[in-house]
Homo-oligomer: A and B are copies of this chain.
Amino acid sequence: MLEKTNQVNLLFDFYAPLLKGKQREYLELYYLDDLSLGEIAEMHEVSRQAVYDHIKRAERQLFEYEEKLLLAAKHEQRQALLERIRRIVEELADGEAREELQALLHQLSEMD
């Protein structure tokens, strides 16, 4: 379950803007704010089943988007490469270049 939660959270970071109204809203309340289905249902005055359906559909969509665009997978690969680059840069004797490179690598890493 924790594994699933982590995956959904990660995918949500990348694809949230593509999800539609209720799907995005309920998914966020359930996974990010950790409310129960019952609590979300009560809050929105809808059935528990309706909340469940929206969340399940939203989950499916997140996994479908990832299958098509691979943003999370590419993010991970990029971060791994950046980490290798950072380690080499750390060891550079040229202090000025090292600091400049570290600043740029930090920017690059944050962008992702």
Contact = CB atoms under 8 A, between A and B. Distances in A.
A21 interface: no
Interface residues of A, number: 30
Nearest to A105: B85
A2 interface: no
A91 B18 CA distance: 43
Contacts of A4: none
Task: State the copy count for this chain.
Answer: 2
Contacts of A15: 69
B108 A81 contact: yes
Name, among A77, A81, A100, the residue most crowded by chain B CB atoms within 10 Å (CB to CB): A81
A107 B81 contact: yes
B104 A97 contact: no
A17 to B, nearest CB: 4
A2 to B, nearest CB: 27
A100 B88 contact: yes
16 contacts: A17-B68, A17-B69, A18-B65, A78-B111, A81-B104, A81-B108, A82-B108, A85-B101, A85-B108, A88-B100, A89-B101, A91-B97, A92-B92, A92-B94, A93-B93, A94-B94
